[in-house]
Amino acid sequence: MPRRSYRSYTTEFKLAAVQAYRNGQAGLKAVAKQYGICHTLLIRWVRKFEQGDLNEELAEAHTLRDYEAKIATLERKVGQLVMELDLLKKGAPRQPTGEPVSIVSGPQVCPFPKDAA
């Protein structure tokens, strides 16, 4: 049986849909269609909003978490680039033939066996 994949929506998106419905811009089904969601999902979001589970602080917490994840990714990339730069500064052995060398894979392999000797 194939596994179902579910969409996830940001808190900002949920709040916008709930506010559009609560402000009386349109009916429940019209707002749901405008936002491309099922009307029963919008009903759940409205209930959560009324219970206080869906609010601005929660949206800010999700945004902060997303930013922290992006910062961590960028810090890892910077660390990787610093290590590569340090390796190049220390004088990685260069190929006398002028072939391009990659730090990760080394010199390119000759495609012709007779030229490899």
**DSSP codes, 89-111:** HT-PPPPTT---EETTTEEPPPS
What is the pLDDT at residue 81?
A: 92
Q: Which residues pair with residue 102 across a beta bridge? A: 106
**Domain edges within the chain:** 8-54, 55-90
What is the pLDDT at residue 108?
A: 61
**Average pLDDT across the chain, whole number:** 80
Higher-confidence residue of 60 and 69: namely 69
Cα–Cα distance between 39 and 41 in angstroms, integer? Answer: 5
At the top level of CATH, the class of 8-54 is mainly alpha
What is the pLDDT at residue 65?
A: 85
pLDDT in tens, 1-54: 566 677 888 888 888 999 999 988 788 899 999 999 999 999 999 998 888 777
Q: What percent of the chain has pLDDT over 70?
A: 70
